[in-house]
Amino acid sequence: MGDLDGNCSRVESILGQVADCDIAILPEMVITGYPLEDLVLKSGFVSDSRRSVENLAATTTNCAVLLGFADSDPAGAVYNAVAVCQGGEIHGVYHKRHLPNYSVFDEARHFCAGSGSLEVYRIGGVRVGVTICEDLWVENGPAGQLVTGGAELLVVANGSPYYRGKAAQREAMVTATAISSDRPLIYVNLVGGQDELVFDGGSMAANRFGEIVARGPQFDEAVVIVDIEIPELLASDSDLPVINISESRERIDSITPTSFRALDPLAELYGALVLATRDYIRKSGFTDICVGLSGGVDSALVATIAADALGPSHVHCVLMPSRYSSTDSVIDAEALVEQQALNVCTISIESAHKMMREILGPEVGDRGDGLMDENLQARIRGVLLMALSNASGWLVLTTGNKSEAAVGYSTLYGDTAGAYAPIKDVYKTTVYELCHWRNAKEIQEGGNSLIPDSILLKPPSAELRPDQRDDQSLPPYEVLDPLLEAYIEGDRNRVELVEMGFDQNLVARVVNLVDRSEYKRRQTPHGVTVTSKGFGRDRRLPVVNRYRG
Amino acid sequence: MGDLDGNCSRVESILGQVADCDIAILPEMVITGYPLEDLVLKSGFVSDSRRSVENLAATTTNCAVLLGFADSDPAGAVYNAVAVCQGGEIHGVYHKRHLPNYSVFDEARHFCAGSGSLEVYRIGGVRVGVTICEDLWVENGPAGQLVTGGAELLVVANGSPYYRGKAAQREAMVTATAISSDRPLIYVNLVGGQDELVFDGGSMAANRFGEIVARGPQFDEAVVIVDIEIPELLASDSDLPVINISESRERIDSITPTSFRALDPLAELYGALVLATRDYIRKSGFTDICVGLSGGVDSALVATIAADALGPSHVHCVLMPSRYSSTDSVIDAEALVEQQALNVCTISIESAHKMMREILGPEVGDRGDGLMDENLQARIRGVLLMALSNASGWLVLTTGNKSEAAVGYSTLYGDTAGAYAPIKDVYKTTVYELCHWRNAKEIQEGGNSLIPDSILLKPPSAELRPDQRDDQSLPPYEVLDPLLEAYIEGDRNRVELVEMGFDQNLVARVVNLVDRSEYKRRQTPHGVTVTSKGFGRDRRLPVVNRYRG
C-alpha cells in the first residue's frame, strides 16, 4: 500500500519473465495498492502515482503491459485507471466507469467515474477490450459495449476482496460473461492482505464457451502464462476506435501454460486467515508475534495460524493462569506449544490480581466482585502482553472470534488488546471446523494433530470465575451462530428472525447484545473480513443509537 | 439517533407551542437522527421512519410542518427527505438532490439523489421553496431553480455539523443566497452530539437583503419564532407546480420574535465540547463519569468540561500517583478538585507497578526499562479507571489532545482507555486557550479561577520517568501545532510544508510520527470533531501504508 517504488520494482521483475508474451495483465491499482482510501486525497499522491507509471512504461518492450494506478485529468478529477503500456510508451488509459460505493467500498468518495468513448487496443493482432472490476458486474456496462464495438478478447483488472463464497460468484460471472459475449475473458485479481481486507487472487482465463482454461493460485502471487485461442470468426471490423499496439506473431509453441486447482471452502478460509495475518504483520514491519494462550480453542487456532504464517519460531505464546484457570487448561496449552514447537513463557497473574484488588478495595468494596473482577483479570493479561510486546518488539495478536465480538463477550483493553485480530470475523462454530480441518490436513501429510483433541472437546469457558462456562451466559454456539449470521450478514430484523424460526426471547436478547456492543467493536483492532459482512468498514452503525427494530 | 417514537413526541410537544404560526421548520432528519449511517440499510428502518412521519402528520393542524426523515419510493430507492405536513396530511415530500460524500459524509452510500420536477408550497399565502442542506451550497442547484420558478421564501432543513469557523461560512452562504435570489431565507440546523459529530444549531432567518433578522442559539435547542416579511413585488406567478396548503391570514401582532447572539470563537468551541460530551454520556445511558487527574492541563480541562456538562457532583476524579509523580502535580490536582467541588479518590500505583515489574522480570530483564516501563504505568492507570467504571457504573473519559493523538504520544489501553475523548480534536495550544477562557468567564461572573494557575504555568510532562518533559521528545507545542494543522487539516505534503517555512528535519520527523501512529488512533475512543478534519470519519487512511509523500 502506497509503496510506489517497491510495487514498480516488483512489476519490473515480473515483466522480465514474460517478455515473450503479447500481453501482461496486472491487477487493479497494482502500482499504488488498493483500496487507497484517503491516501488518494493527499497532495501529490496522484501525480506520484502517474509518474511511477510513466517511468515504468518507459521500460516496456514488445509485450503490452496493463498497469492499474490512480490517474487524474488536467481538471484535477481523479480516476481508478489502467494504463496500456508497450514499447516504452503509454498507448491509452482506461478509467473505471462503475465505482462501487457499498459494503467495504468507498470509491465515490475518492474517484470520478470514467466517461466518454471507449476504445480497443490491437495487441498481438487481437482487439482487446480493457475494463476494471465493478465494470464487469454491471448489466449493459462497458464489457458488453466493448464486445459490441469489436473487442475480440476481454480483460479485467480486479481488486476483489475475499469472503466465503466469493470465488464461486466471480467464476459464475466470468463464465456467464464469456458465454454471453462469445469472447474469451481474462480476470486478474489482486493477492494479499490490506488492513481488514484480504485479496485472494484466484485469477482466471475463460474461453469463449465460458470454460476456465487457466487458473491462478489463491492466496499466493504467481505469474500465470496462458495461450488464449482467439476464434477466427471474430475478426470482423470494429466500431470503436482501435489503437494499434502490436501485430500478430507466429505462434510460440514453447509456452507451457501454468494452472492451479481451486481450493475447497475450508482450505480457502484458512488460507485467507494465514495470508491476511502474515501480510498485516510483515507489512507493519514485524517478524514475531505474541499471543495469550488460555488452553481454549480460539487462542489455539490463532497460534496455529500465526505459526503457519510466520513459522513456529516467530510465535511467542504466553500462559497467564489465574486462580480460576483449570489444570487442564495449562496442560492443554503446553501440549499445543510442544506439538507445534512454539516459544512459550508462563506468567501467573495471581499476585498482580491480588494486588490490584487490594489497592482498589477501599474504593469499590463489594462492588469489586463480579464483572469488575472478571474484567480485571483479562486486563492484567492485556497489560502483560503489551509489556512483552514493548520489551521484545513482538506484535500482539488477539484471539476473539466473531460470535464473541457480536455479543460483546470480551473485555476492552483486556483480551481485545492487540494489533491484529486474525479470527475476528470467524464464528465460534467455524473456529472448531477450522481446527479439525487443520488437524486433518496435518495428519494427511503424515504428521500429528497440531491442536490437541482435549482443546476441541472441552466446553468453552472464559475461566474468569469458578466453574464458568460460556453456555451459562450465552446459548450454545450451534444455536447462537446461525442467529448472529442472519442478523449481521443477513440484515434480518427482529420480526423476520422470529419468522425464520428463531425463538422470540432469544432474538430479543441476542439482538440487544449485538446492538449494545457497538462501542466495544469500535476500539478493537483490525482483523480480516472473511464473511459477506464483517464488523468493520462494511457495517457502519452509529454507536449512540436507540433504534431497536 | 434512531429513537423514532421519542423524536416524534418531542416534535409534537414543540408543535403545541407554535400552533398559531403558518409554518414550523424542523432540521434535517429530525424524526430519525442524523447521520443515520448503515441504520438506513436495516430491514424495516425506512418504513418505520415513513410510518412515524405519517402518524405525526395525522396530528398536524393549520400550521404547516416540515419534517425531515428517511423516505423510500415503491422501487425501494431511499431518500433523505422532508415531508410538508398540514391539516392531518402529507402534502408533499422533497428529496435531497445533492448528496455530500466527502469529509464526514457518506450520503452516496445510503441515499439516492432526488430528481424530477420541483414544486413549491403555498403556505400562509406565500409560495415556499423547500430544500435540504447541501442543496443550498450547489451553484445552479435547487434553491436557484425554486426562486426562478416562483418561490417567494426559501427554507432549508440542515444537519450541518460544527467545526471551528463553520458558522461564519454558513452565515455567508445564507446571506449571499438571500441577496442573489432576492428572497428571504430560513436556515434551520440540528442541535446535539452524535458520536464524533456535534451539531451546533445556530439557525438563522435572513431577509431578502441578506440581513439576519433572527438567530437561534448555538448548542442549545430552542423554538425561535420569527415573522418574515414577504415583499409584495414577488407575488408573481409561479412556473413550478404550486401545492396549496394554507391561505394568508390577518397579521398577528402578538408574536414577539425571539433571537440569540452569536458566540465568540472560544465560547463556541467550549460550547461544542460541553454539548458533545454531555450528549454522548447521557444518550449512552450514563449520568456520571470518572477521569484520571494527573495535575496536568489536559485532564484539568476534561474534568472542567465534564463538570459543566453534567454538574460537578457527577464527576469522579481519580488521582493515581506513581514514583515519578511530582508533589506539585498531586497538589495541583487536589486544588482543581476543591475549586470545582468534584469527587475525588486517590490510588497510588506504586505497589501495582512494582508487582508488575516483578512478575515480568524473568521474561524481560533489562528490556523492561524505558518504553515498557512508561507504558506499564499508563496501562495500570487504565486498568484502575476501568475497574472503577465497572464497579460504579461511571463512564471513563480520556484526556488526550489532538497534538498527542497526531504524533502518537499516548499509551494504547493506558491513557487512551475510555469511552469518550472530549478533547481529542483540540490541539495542545488550544487546550491552554480554552482553560484561560473558562477561567476568565468564571471570574467575570464573580467566581474564582476553576483551573489553578499552577497547572497552566508548569511545563507539560507525562511524568512516566524522572524529570520527563514533553519538550524532550517533541518540539514546543507553539511550533508543533501549526505544523500538524498544516499537515492534517491543510493536507499539505512534505515539500509544501517546507515551502511554508517549516524546518525540513522537523517536517520529516513529525510527518513520520503522524503517519506511523495511524494504528493507535484506530483503537481510541470517539471524541467530538471540532476542526475541519478530525481523526475519525473525515480522515480515512490505511493503517498498513508505505506512502511517505
Q: List B304's β-bridge partners, or say none.
A: none
- Which stretches does DSSP call E strand in A325-462? 343-346, 395-396
Residue B232 has pLDDT above 80, yes or no: no
CA A190 to chain CA centroid, nearest Å = 11
Q: Across the interface, which of B6, B38, B363 has its CB nearest the CB of A345?
A: B363
**Percent of chain B predicted with pLDDT > 90:** 90
Residue B255 has pLDDT above 90, yes or no: no
* Residues ≥6 apart with Cβ < 8 Å to B499: none
pTM of the model: 0.96
User: Cα torsion at A142, A146, A149, A154 (round to 10°)?
Assistant: -170
Give the nearest chain B residue to A524 (CA atoms). B523
The CA distance from B542 to B549, in Å, is 14
CA A486 to chain CA centroid, nearest Å = 21
**Percent of chain A predicted with pLDDT > 70:** 98
DSSP run (H or E) holding B129: strand B126-132
Q: Across the interface, which of A6, A383, A390 has its CB nearest the CB of B356?
A: A383
Residue type present at position A543: V
Q: Indicate the range of A141-150, B96-105, B173-182, B244-253 predicted with least confidence.
A: B244-253
Smallest CA–CA separation between A384 and chain B, in Å? Answer: 7
User: Are the Cβ atoms of B2 and A540 closer than 8 angstroms?
Assistant: no
Angle between helix A297-310 and helix A265-283 axes, rounded to 10 deg: 70
Residue B235 has pLDDT above 60, yes or no: no
Q: Which residues of A are catalytic?
A: 28, 96, 133
Q: What is the pLDDT of residues B123-134, one digit of tens each?
A: 999 999 999 999
C-alpha cell read off for B287: 449520568
Give Cα separations from B46 to B38, B96, B539 (angstroms). Answer: 11, 15, 29
* pLDDT tier for residue B111 given thresholds of 50, 70 and 90: very high
Q: Does A262 touch chain B (CB under 8 A)?
A: no
Report the first-to-last Cα separation within chain B, whole angstroms: 39
Residue type present at position A228: I
C-alpha cell read off for A336: 499445543
The CA distance from A391 to A398, in Å, is 18
Q: Confirm if A21 and A155 have CB atoms less than 8 A apart.
A: no
pLDDT of residue A548: 86
User: Are the Cβ atoms of B523 and A525 closer than 8 angstroms?
Assistant: yes
Smallest CA–CA separation between B493 and chain A, in Å? Answer: 6
Give Cα separations from A1 to A49, A164, A344, B158 (angstroms). Answer: 12, 24, 33, 38
pLDDT of residue B254: 66
User: Are the Cβ atoms of A541 and B390 closer than 8 angstroms?
Assistant: no
DSSP run (H or E) holding B17: helix B4-17
Angle at A464 between CA A290 and CA A395, to 5 degrees: 15
The CA distance from A10 to A31, in Å, is 9
* 3 state SS of B482: helix
Angle at B313 between CA B310 and CA B319, to 5 degrees: 105
Q: What is the pLDDT of residues B10-49, one digit of tens each?
A: 999 999 999 989 999 999 999 999 999 999 999 899 999 9
* pLDDT tier for residue A549 given thresholds of 50, 70 and 90: confident
DSSP run (H or E) holding B144: helix B142-148
Q: What is the pLDDT of residues A259-292, one digit of tens each?
A: 788 899 999 999 999 999 999 999 999 999 999 9
Q: What is the pLDDT of residues A422-476, one digit of tens each?
A: 999 999 999 999 999 999 999 999 999 999 999 999 988 888 888 888 888 889 9
The CA distance from A351 to B355, in Å, is 7
Which among B434, B529, B524, B546 has a CA at the least distance from the CA of B488?
B529
The CA distance from A102 to A107, in Å, is 9
Residue B234 has pLDDT above 80, yes or no: no
User: Are the Cβ atoms of A547 and B3 closer than 8 angstroms?
Assistant: yes
Q: Which residues of B are catalytic?
A: 28, 96, 133
DSSP run (H or E) holding B168: helix B166-181
Best interface-test mutation with B: which of A320, A547, A548 has the largest number of B CBs within 10 A? A547
Q: What is the pLDDT of residues A220-240, one digit of tens each?
A: 999 999 999 888 765 567 889
Q: Does A50 touch chain B (CB under 8 A)?
A: no
* pLDDT tier for residue A390 given thresholds of 50, 70 and 90: very high
Tell me the average pLDDT across B224-239.
79
Q: Does B138 touch chain A (CB under 8 A)?
A: no
The CA distance from A193 to A348, in Å, is 35
CA A447 to chain CA centroid, nearest Å = 29
Angle at A423 between CA A418 and CA A426, to 5 degrees: 145
Burial of A436 (0-12, 13-18, 19+ CB in 10 A): middle
The CA distance from B377 to B354, in Å, is 10
CB atoms within 10 A of CB A118: 20
Report the first-to-last Cα separation within chain A, whole angstroms: 39
The CA distance from B302 to B291, in Å, is 8
CA B526 to chain CA centroid, nearest Å = 11
Q: Does A542 touch chain B (CB under 8 A)?
A: yes
* 3 state SS of A143: helix
Q: What is the pLDDT of residues A195-219, one digit of tens each?
A: 999 999 999 999 999 999 999 999 9
Give the nearest chain B residue to A375 (CA atoms). B387
User: Are the Cβ atoms of A355 and B358 closer than 8 angstroms?
Assistant: no
pLDDT of residue A231: 80
Angle between helix A428-444 and helix A477-488 axes, rounded to 10 deg: 110
Tell me the average pLDDT across B503-532.
96
Size of interface A-B (CB pairs under 8 A): 254
Cis bond leading into B161, ω under 30°? no
CB atoms within 10 A of CB B508: 14
The CA distance from A191 to B128, in Å, is 56
Burial of B437 (0-12, 13-18, 19+ CB in 10 A): middle
User: Are the Cβ atoms of B4 and A547 closer than 8 angstroms?
Assistant: yes
Q: Does B42 touch chain A (CB under 8 A)?
A: yes
- Summary mean pLDDT of chain A: 95
The CA distance from B343 to B349, in Å, is 19
Give the nearest chain A residue to B368 (CA atoms). A391
C-alpha cell read off for A508: 430479543
pLDDT of residue A236: 65
pLDDT of residue A259: 77
Smallest CA–CA separation between B419 and chain A, in Å? Answer: 8
Query: For chain A, what is the largest distance between any 2 Cα atoms, rounded to a whole number of angstroms?
Result: 88
Q: Does A363 touch chain B (CB under 8 A)?
A: yes
C-alpha cell read off for B390: 465497572
Q: Across the interface, which of B38, B380, B493 has its CB nearest the CB of A539?
A: B38
User: Are the Cβ atoms of B45 and A549 closer than 8 angstroms?
Assistant: yes
- Return the residue matching grid coordinates 408574536: B255
Q: What is the pLDDT of residues A4-33, one digit of tens each?
A: 999 999 999 999 999 989 999 999 999 999
User: ipTM score here?
Assistant: 0.95
Smallest CA–CA separation between A504 and chain B, in Å? Answer: 17
Residues of A in contact with B376 (CB under 8 A): 383, 387, 390
* 3 state SS of A218: strand
C-alpha cell read off for A311: 513459522
* 3 state SS of A81: strand
- Summary mean pLDDT of chain B: 95
- Which stretches does DSSP call E strand in B142-254? 153-158, 185-189, 191-194, 197-200, 204-206, 212-215, 242-244
**Percent of chain A predicted with pLDDT > 90:** 90
Helix %, strand %, coil % of chain B (to 5): 40, 15, 45
Angle at A38 between CA A32 and CA A42, to 5 degrees: 80
Instruction: Produce one character per residue of A323-360: b if its CB has 16 or more CB atoms within 10 Å, e if not.
Output: ebbeeebbebbbbbbebbebebeebebbebbebbbebb
Residues of A in contact with B38 (CB under 8 A): 539-541
Q: Does A41 touch chain B (CB under 8 A)?
A: yes
The CA distance from B347 to B322, in Å, is 9
DSSP run (H or E) holding B297: helix B297-310
* Residues ≥6 apart with Cβ < 8 Å to A177: A136, A143, A154, A185
User: Are the Cβ atoms of A544 and B372 closer than 8 angstroms?
Assistant: no
The CA distance from A391 to A375, in Å, is 24
Residue A175 has pLDDT above 60, yes or no: yes
pLDDT of residue A254: 66
The CA distance from B348 to B331, in Å, is 14
Residues of A in contact with B193 (CB under 8 A): 544
Strands, sheet with A126-132, edge to edge from the N-terminal-most edge strand: A212-215, A204-206, A185-189, A153-158, A126-132, A120-123, A242-244
pLDDT of residue B260: 85
Tell me the average pLDDT across B392-417.
97
Residues of B in contact with A348 (CB under 8 A): 359
- DSSP calls for A221-268: -----------GGG----SS-EEE--------TT------PPPPHHHH
**Percent of chain B predicted with pLDDT > 70:** 98
pLDDT of residue A471: 85
Tell me the average pLDDT across B67-83.
97
C-alpha cell read off for A272: 485467507
CA A19 to chain CA centroid, nearest Å = 31
